[in-house]
Each structure stands twice: as structure tokens, then as C-alpha cells.
Amino acid sequence: MKMRIVVVGANAAGAKAASKAKRINPKAEVTLIDRGTFISYGACGIPYFVSDTVADVKELMSTAVGVVRDAHFFKKVKGVTVQTGVEVTGIDRESKVVHLLDTSTGQSSSLGYDRLILATGSSPFIPAIDKVGLPNILTVKSIADAELLKNCAISGDRACIVGGGLIGLETAEALQKKGMRVTVIEMRDQLLPGVLDPEMAYLVEKHLRQQGVTVMTGCAVTGFIGHTTVSAVRIGGQELPADLVVLAPGVTPNVGLARAAGLDLGVTGAISVDARLCTNDPAIYACGDCCETNHLITGKKVYIPLGSTANKQGRVAGINAAGGEAVFAGVIGTSILKVFNINAGKTGLSESEARANGFDVETVLSPAHDKAHFFPGAKPIVLKLVAERTTGRLLGLQAAGEGAVDKRLDAAATAITFHATAEQLSQLDLAYAPPYSAAMDNLIVAADILKNKLAGHARGVSPHDVKRKFDAEEDFILLDVRSPAEYDETGIEGATLMPLGLLREKLEELPRNKEIITFCKVSLRGYEAHRILDAAGFENTKYMDGGILAWPYPLRDAS
């Protein structure tokens, strides 16, 4: 008798699992079931369809050569039977049967299985607040969402995005490109919470504001106003006019089917699986946004739903369900986005995440160009490297800027996965030519700065902490060691000018009983000044990580 493999959910993880299972066991009967109409589409591409970057929604459902991945494609090319518009209403684990409901006819049926793969995905989190069900309050998850959102994106209208995460910011750009007046509302005190540390997130926020997007952080939406459609968003006692609202505060795993079947849920609320993606029932696997996974740095269970992870997990689940042997070790939380002209992302742990997990950390902010500075098209990026202080082991990298951050993140992701140290990262033989990087790639430079800090040769302070010192009116000196011409062009309000070339002869003009923080454009000269002051016996000196290029706050106008 042929092995019967049933896959519930036909998007990224499920489609991959079904296809791989059939390739591993060509004689198996593989059935792919989905309650929706569209299958195997790239939900991550929805904002780009809304903005007209992707012209036709069918492109989100197509292969690289333009063939639509529909039921016909899966049957003819993959040998997989697809049932769409069919909801799995229950699982009889003892009899190994799934109960089905045809959503168009209301007809019930059942289907037996030898192996079952749950790829039920996730759903947008819908906050339980007043009038959240009004028809022009939308989400960004399905093809239907994509088409509705595009139709509602009317030039000149006001759009509010609730949630400043990856999808929220990508949608903000898409709607503004359609001519809408866009406001992003985030209840946390920064954009991209859980992705970037504050000083990196502020760089993204600064860019959004420059592009004309209104950003409101530290603001919780408490309700919506309107009768037949939304007309305003309520934030505490304030009412913000809105013609369209997009809910993007995150997603929740679809675990209702698994819970009803008695499958174990994990600490994150998603389905619990082992390294083979097997549930507590040896005949049932789970993959994609419905299940949790292991974090390779902390060893803890995490829920980080991403399309890349879903595809990799689908492959592993398909292999194992078909009788093979494969393992999904886990993730380190690598993510990236492009919003307007800035690119930003993270791999591994942020500083705040590392500290929350008990690591004693050292960090570096390092700005530089993504190519040789003299090469046409070179653009700035800022890197933030996080490492364990005692061992030098790399824990994370964040990157933001108009230049190419992706290859730095990918290189760091590889290094972090294989437990590399700052010393080992600094020795990587990365590709170099002026169109691609500086002779010392900024990732290597960041590693070298980190080595200096770990060895006690440098003491840095972040721009975020410098701003905090100013706000708290602490008694310290922020020493600008750039040239007078640079100082006159722009600078940080409250800083004192002392060009690096004059520092040695003017040391006695500086008080030795105050904290002195030095900086320049990227803090290379700031670091040199810090070392000069240290050598001269000043006991409380630091330099500001990243210099002006990493300063996300308003700068002083030209004098």
C-alpha cells in the first residue's frame, strides 16, 4: 500500500513540504490541502505589489520562469494533489484521519493519512479594541489583502499603519508611493522593536521622517472612530484622522487544529516540535509559521516567523514525513528590510536581547561606505557588532544605511552560526575590489574595533548614551576633534571644538576632573583623541561610537 502523506496549508512551508516529500518518496500519495483559493504565493511581496513595484499579483504566485503555482502546476509538475477551498476541521489521531469541509458547498468528507504535516501558518494579530472590524481597517497577509489594500490606496488620503515592524514599514512606503499621507504608530518607544537596538532604529526613523512619513512611537491605539468606515484612530485622548488603517502589530501562530487534536504547544504558544520537526505524535510534523524553533545562541525556544525559515522547515518536514532523515537545527533571527532608500537588518542577538539573556557584552558602532569611498555610488552604512566580553564570541550584528547591508549581515550570520570570535571575524578573507568594498571591509573594521575594546585599548559610548547624558544635564565634555571647517558646516549641539591636530598642545585647557567624550565624523579621529588623552593621564575619557554618521538625532545647523 502506498504511503499517504497529507499536508495542511499550501503556502511557503506546506508547498515546500509536499514537493519535497514527493521527491523523496515518488510512490507516496501526497495531498496538499488549503482553505484558501491561492496557494504557494510570496506574502512578503505584498507591499511591493501595492506600490506597483510588482505589476501583477500573479507574479507573487509564479515560479522564476513565470509559471503560476496553482493546483494544475502541482499535479503536473510535482505529482502532488491539491485541494483548495477545503478546511481541515479536525484530526482523528487514533484512526489517522483528517476531517474536511468544502467551504463552497458545505460538504463534509474525510481523508486518511500515514503521515500528516501541519503547515497552518499564522494570522495577523487583531487587537481587541473598539470598532477594529470596520471595513477599511485592513491587514497584510493574503492575496485578497493585497488586492483590497491596493484598491483602497487613494492618493491624497490619510493612512495609519498600526505597528512599526518589518511589514508595517514596508507597507508605509508602499502606501506613500501611492500618494497617501502616511503615519506609523508604534506602541513601543522605537521602530523595529525586537530587531534593532534604539540607536540603530533611530537611524531608520530619521530616514522615514525625511521621506515625509509621520512617526509616532510610544503610542498605543485605544480605539477607532467611524460608522460605516473608519474616520479616525484614537490614541489616548487624541484623535488622528484616517481614511485607511493597516494593522501590522505582528502575527500569531494558527494552532487551533493542533490544540484540538491534543498536540503539545510550546512556551511561545506555537506548536512544539523536535529537531526533526516532529510533534508529540510520531505521525504528525509541523513546519513554518505555526511552530516554534530553537535559537542557536540562547538555546531557548523562540517564535520568529519568516518566509526563509518556513521554506527550510518545509523541506525538512517533507523529507522526514516521506521516510528520510533530516534535522532543522534552529535560527539566529536574521531579518532585513528595505524602506525607501535605507536598508536595515539584524542577525543574532541585539545588545538588549543579549543582556536580557544574561550575556556580558561589548558593542561597537562602525560607520563606513559600502564600497571604496572614491568609487561612484558608494553609500554609507552603520554596523553595530555585539560580542560576549569574556570570550570575544560574536553574538549579533545590526546594520542600517543606504548602502549594501545584506552581504555584511550574511557574512556575520555565517560567522555567528559557527561560533566565531571577533578575532576570527577580523581574519576573514572577504572579497575586495573598489566596486564592492573598501580594502578593509567595514565588517572587518568593526571586528578590529571590537578587539581593541575587548583588550582594554578603547572605551566607547553610544550616541544614545551621549544624548541621554545631555538630556540628564550631566557634567561632561563632548569634544569635537574635527577641523574648524567641518565644525562650521554642522555638528552636535553642546559639543566643544578642539581639532585633533591641536589637541596635544592644548591638553592643559581641558579639565582633568570631568568625563571627556571625543568624536569626529566616524570616530576614527575620536578614537585617536581618546588614546592621546589616556596617554596624557586623563582618567575618565571615552570616544563616541560611530561619530556623527551614527548620530540619529538632529544636528546643529551650519554656523
pLDDT digits (tens, 9 = 90+) for 142-176: 999 999 999 999 999 999 999 999 999 999 999 99
Of 439, 454, 469, which residue is a domain's last?
Answer: 454
Please check whether residues 445 and 470 belong to one and the same domain. no
Grade residue 66 by pLDDT with cuts at 50, 70 and 90: confident
For residues 489 and 522, state if they share a domain: yes
Are 432 and 502 found together in one domain?
no
* 104: number of Cβ within 10 Å: 10
Active site residue 290: no
Q: Are residues 201 and 265 in the same domain?
A: no
State the DSSP string of 491-508: B-TT-EE--HHHHGGGGG
The better pLDDT of the pair 66, 279 is held by 279
Q: Specify the pairing of strand 342-348 against strand 335-339.
A: antiparallel
Is residue 365 within 8 A of residue 196, CB to CB? The reply is no
Cα 209 from Cα 218, distance rounded (Å):
16
Q: Is residue 222 located within the same domain as residue 311?
A: no
Residue 128 domain flag? no
Beta-carbon neighbour count of residue 138 at 10 Å? 21
Tell me the average pLDDT across 393-419: 98
- Greater model confidence, 126 or 42: 126
294 and 347 within one domain: no
Q: For 246-265, how does the pLDDT look when each residue is reduced to its tens digit (9 = 90+)? A: 999 999 999 999 999 999 99
Predicted pLDDT of residue 1: 73
Domain assignment present for residue 89? The answer is yes
Range of the domain at 362: 341-454
* Same domain for 352 and 259: no
pLDDT tier for residue 65 given thresholds of 50, 70 and 90: confident
In this predicted model, which residue has the larger pLDDT, 432 or 558?
Answer: 432
198-210 vs 166-177: helix axis angle to the nearest 10?
10
This prediction has a pTM of 0.94
Q: Is residue 535 part of a domain?
A: yes
In a domain, 392, yes or no: yes
Residue 60 DSSP one-character state: G
User: Residue 559 — very low, low, confident or very high, per pLDDT cuts 50/70/90?
Assistant: low
CB-based burial, 330-350: b 16+ in 10 Å, e otherwise: bbbbbbbbbbbebbbbbbbbb
246, 162 contact by CB (below 8 A): yes
Residues 477 and 437 in one domain: no
Whether residue 390 is found in the same domain as residue 420: yes
- pLDDT tens digits along 453-511: 999 999 999 999 999 999 999 999 999 999 999 999 999 999 999 999 999 999 999 99
The CATH number assigned to the domain holding 168 equals 3.50.50.60
Q: Once rounded to an integer, what is the mean pLDDT over residues 46-54?
A: 94
**42 pLDDT band (50/70/90 cuts)?**
confident
Residue 118 and residue 8 share a domain: yes
